[in-house]
Amino acid sequence: MQPTVDSDRIFDVIVVGGGPAGITAALYLARARYRVLVVEKEEFGGQIRITDEVANYPGAGLTSGRELTATMQQQAEAFGAEFVLAEVTGLELAGDLRTAHTNRGDYQAFGLVIATGAHPRQVGFKGESEFKGRGVAYCATCDGEFFSGLDIFVVGGGLAAAEEAMFLTRFARKVTMLVRKDQLRAPQSVVEKVLADPNIEVRFNCTVEEVAGDSQLRLLRWRDHAADTVQEYRPPDGEGFGVFVFAGYEPSTGLLQGLVELDEAGYVVTDANRKSSVDGVYAAGDVCIKNLRQVVTATADGAIAATELERWAAAAQARTGIVPQKPPATPAGNVAASGVTPAAVVPGSNVPGSNVPGGNVPGGGTPISGIAGSGGGTPVSDTAGTATSGDTTATAANPTSIGQLFDAEMRAQLDTVFSRMQQPVILQAVLDDSPAAAELQAFLQELAGLSDKLSLNTQTISAALPNAASEEASGAEPPTAPESPRATRRPPTTPQLQGPLGAPNLPYVELLRADGQSGNLRFHGVPGGHETTSFILGIYNISGPGQPLDEGLAAEIAAISQPTALSVLVSLSCTNCPDVVQAAQRIAALNPLVSAAAYDLRLYPELKQHYNVMSVPCLIINQSGRPEQISFGKKQLPQLLELLR
Ligand SMILES: Cc1cc2nc3c(=O)[nH]c(=O)nc-3n(C[C@H](O)[C@H](O)[C@H](O)COP(=O)(O)OP(=O)(O)OC[C@H]3O[C@@H](n4cnc5c(N)ncnc54)[C@H](O)[C@@H]3O)c2cc1C
């Protein structure tokens, strides 16, 4: 018997996967006035979100993957497509109404579009999973810098491997490519560049057999098939090294096993109109068998599948008499009982403001010049290097260096966010005399000058001053790891917000609510690069009403009853980090027992050393009565909440 669900959870078509293929299918169906739901487990936009430069999508010019897909989503939403963040965990394909089981409940529809895309392939050598995040990596942009001055091995011989090998020469002492075949599979121009690069050695006919180590990688063993020998690499004493795997992608079709026909590699077998072996079930994008896996072919598939499904849904409506209807609009700020976010409330995937898709505010893919990862920036002459301690206040009435960091487009986007803030927010900066502190102050001064809802309090802690205050306030045990000079200067600090290693890690900015109470959100360092969006969203969520949130997730956040500190170690160039920072901040903004702090790891080598971080984001969870939990990799709110259960 078919499971039954509430009528507001019945759609003409459910699209599984919110990448370019899925969003396009939704756009076409919604425009044809069908009720369509896109279910996405991570973040709308799909794989292309991690790419800062997309230059081959016709009509879009040079854009970023985030920007491109955010626009696609806005277009689909404008026609009434609905979106929900949930993971489809199972499908039932019998009967007129097919069921998608998700971790947020069941949804039903006459037709389905499978647009689940692909994910990086693990090679499967011994130690690969064990050392993921501790030497074995899959994202050069995110993790390359952790191997500065060390040797790096790249596993793979395709275009991605070749390009990433060249990129990694920025950091590595030497890059060695281990290629399974006897040639690189990349355009000749790229092959020539790689082979001519003195910092890259390419070894053909090699397959990795094993990595091993302790807290870092200490051994790599591979088979050279041409020489029929097993070879080893061991780094110099005390050093680790990196193994970056770029061995292609595999289709995300686990859900479909036994339900629709798949080829040997797991791709969905379809006809020319993208119909799978089951009527009413279509596939689109990278999950399909095809020669070219690109955004342009994914969107084309989505459009073709959707057009076919229009006919399928019309016939099913006529046959069953069921015409899926949207529930009445809910008040702004709420979500429908179905868990689906009404398009009118969230024009972007998860950010306030129709023109503020993640990645459009400064640094969300576009680093702010002079801030992102520079360590330099614009020093503020009367603060940097002073040996005094005291408080100053800068508000909109007293701005300094306005107009240098945020261009007109960014300011327009920020204005949209500021106009929706219900309460003022105080930016409490706690600075030392480092260049980063001067940079943070300049950043905050300019930001505070953009809205009268923001004000800036600055406290400077001198290296020369004793700092017993925070030890008294925190009651913290002395740190277990050696402190950096920066970590020994202790400002008064909210006990709950005491950072990892029990040190305040200056400089930082804390968000305070209008009444001066801590909002339990902090950024250590300068929130530039990919973290600017997180920082702005943090401000918005503290000020209220905050981003809309599914009732189930809100209840789960409210149910956290133990004091919990979430610390996220990030790099400003990491595209996977903002998800974790934003998820941690959402929880902290809603539950006073939870604090969320992000750390730009570049500034806090002691944290990198203590937690042995070779990959970002690194999430550290300290929860009363439980051992410290450390995990790596991208996480959305549901996944983070799962770790807190
Ligand atoms: C580093 C990189 C650079 C690239 N550069 C370019 C480029 O410059 N130009 C270009 O045209 N293409 C580029 N591509 C290729 C392009 O990203 C893909 O072809 C395109 O994203 C495919 O879109 P899709 O919708 O089929 O799948 P995806 O983009 O993979 O989206 C699938 C979505 O489905 C979701 N999903 C999976 N399983 C479930 C589930 N069970 N429940 C709910 N949701 C689920 C995933 O989270 C994901 O968001 C690049 C790819 C990579 C990795």
In the chain, the amino acid numbered 360 is: N
At residue 270, the pLDDT reads 98
Nearest CA to ligand 1 atom 45: 17
Region 512-533: mean pLDDT is 92
Greatest mean pLDDT among 336-340, 386-390, 554-558: 554-558
At residue 235, the pLDDT reads 97
Give the CA count within 13 Å in the CB-facing half-sphere of 224.
11
Query: How many residues are there in the chain?
Result: 645
Share of the chain above pLDDT 70, in %: 81
Closest ligand 1 atom number to CA of residue 284: 26
At residue 81, the pLDDT reads 96
**pLDDT of 458 over the 90 cut:** yes
- Residue 406 sits at φ, ψ, to 5 deg, of -110, 115
**pLDDT of 574 over the 60 cut:** yes
Distance 298 CA to ligand 1 centre (A): 9
- Note whether 112 and 281 are within 8 A (CB): yes
Least confident of 231-240, 338-347, 382-391: 382-391
At residue 614, the pLDDT reads 85
- Note whether 23 and 117 are within 8 A (CB): no
Q: How many C-beta atoms surround the C-beta of residue 609 within 10 A?
A: 12
At residue 380, the pLDDT reads 25
**pLDDT of 347 over the 90 cut:** no
Region 459-478: mean pLDDT is 47
Least confident of 196-210, 248-262, 268-282, 627-641: 627-641
**pLDDT of 329 over the 80 cut:** no
Region 247-262: mean pLDDT is 93
Confidence of residue 47 (pLDDT cuts 50, 70, 90): confident
- Quick one: 100 exposed, middle or buried, by C-beta within 10 A (0-12, 13-18, 19+)? buried
At residue 498, the pLDDT reads 53
At residue 128, the pLDDT reads 94
Record the tokens describing residue 596, joined without a space: 């969320």
Q: Which of 47, 52, 282, 349 to mutate to test the pocket of ligand 1 (most atoms within 8 A of CB)?
A: 47
CA distances in angstroms from 201 to 143, 178, 212, 485, listed in the order given: 20, 9, 22, 40
Render pLDDT for 348-407 as a digit per residue (tens, 0 to 9).
332 322 223 333 333 333 332 222 233 333 222 222 222 233 343 333 333 334 456 788
At residue 487, the pLDDT reads 34
Render pLDDT for 586-595 as a digit per residue (tens, 0 to 9).
999 999 999 9
Q: Per DSSP, which regions of 191-294 are E strands?
A: 200-203, 206-213, 217-224, 229-233, 242-245, 249-251, 281-283
**pLDDT of 447 over the 60 cut:** yes
Region 248-264: mean pLDDT is 94
Residue ranges of domains in the chain: 7-118+251-345, 136-247, 395-644
- Note whether 613 and 569 are within 8 A (CB): yes
Region 563-572: mean pLDDT is 93
Distance 49 CA to ligand 1 centre (A): 8
Query: Nearest CA to 44 among 11, 62, 12, 21?
Result: 21
Quote the DSSP letter at residue 534: H
Q: Which residue has the tokens 């050069």?
A: 140
CA distance 299 to 23: 8
CATH number for 395-644 (one of 3.40.710.10, 3.40.30.80, 3.30.1360.40, 3.40.1020.10): it is 3.40.30.80
**pLDDT of 482 over the 70 cut:** no
Q: Which of 85, 116, 141 to mutate to test the pocket of ligand 1 (most atoms within 8 A of CB)?
A: 116
Higher pLDDT, 501 or 32: 32
**pLDDT of 11 over the 70 cut:** yes
Closest ligand 1 atom number to CA of residue 288: 26
Region 204-233: mean pLDDT is 96
Higher pLDDT, 3 or 389: 3
Closest ligand 1 atom number to CA of residue 47: 29
Render pLDDT for 542-552 as a digit per residue (tens, 0 to 9).
998 888 888 88
CA distance 508 to 525: 6
Greatest mean pLDDT among 304-313, 389-398, 464-473, 614-623: 304-313
Region 13-17: mean pLDDT is 98
Confidence of residue 471 (pLDDT cuts 50, 70, 90): very low
- Note whether 637 and 548 are within 8 A (CB): no
Distance 73 CA to ligand 1 centre (A): 14
- Note whether 513 and 519 are within 8 A (CB): yes
**pLDDT of 123 over the 50 cut:** yes
Q: What is the DSSP string of 174-193?
A: EEEEE-SSSS-BS-HHHHHH
At residue 73, the pLDDT reads 95
Domains 7-118+251-345 and 136-247 share a fold: yes
Least confident of 41-55, 164-178, 372-386: 372-386
Distance 465 CA to ligand 1 centre (A): 52
Architecture of domain 7-118+251-345 in CATH? 3-Layer(bba) Sandwich (3.50)
Q: Which of 14, 43, 48 to mutate to test the pocket of ligand 1 (most atoms within 8 A of CB)?
A: 48
Distance 139 CA to ligand 1 centre (A): 15
Nearest CA to ligand 1 atom 50: 48
Confidence of residue 493 (pLDDT cuts 50, 70, 90): very low
Is residue 107 within a helix (H) or strand (E), and if so which, with residue range? strand 105-114
At residue 119, the pLDDT reads 83
Region 403-425: mean pLDDT is 85
Query: Nearest CA to 27 among 66, 83, 67, 65?
Result: 83
Topology of 136-247 in CATH?
A: FAD/NAD(P)-binding domain (3.50.50)
Record the tokens describing residue 238, joined without a space: 């005390």
Mean pLDDT of the chain: 82
CA distance 17 to 305: 14
Q: Taking CB atoms and a 6 Å cutoff, what residues make up the pocket around ligand 1?
A: 16-22, 39-42, 46-48, 50-51, 54, 56-57, 87-88, 115-118, 252, 255, 285-286, 293-296, 298
At residue 50, the pLDDT reads 72
CA distance 217 to 231: 16
C-alpha dihedral, 185 to 232 to 137 to 630, nearest 10°: 170
Record the tokens describing residue 570, joined without a space: 């990030």
At residue 500, the pLDDT reads 66
Distance 54 CA to ligand 1 centre (A): 13
Record the tokens describing residue 344, joined without a space: 């009118």
Higher pLDDT, 64 or 114: 114
Render pLDDT for 501-512 as a digit per residue (tens, 0 to 9).
677 789 999 999
**pLDDT of 476 over the 80 cut:** no
Closest ligand 1 atom number to CA of residue 296: 11
Record the tokens describing residue 547, joined without a space: 């981003």
- Note whether 152 and 62 are within 8 A (CB): no
**pLDDT of 164 over the 50 cut:** yes
Confidence of residue 4 (pLDDT cuts 50, 70, 90): low
At residue 388, the pLDDT reads 30
Region 219-227: mean pLDDT is 97
Render pLDDT for 285-302 as a digit per residue (tens, 0 to 9).
999 999 888 899 999 999
In the chain, the amino acid numbered 607 is: L
- Note whether 572 and 373 are within 8 A (CB): yes
At residue 403, the pLDDT reads 52
Residues taking part in catalysis? 139, 142-143
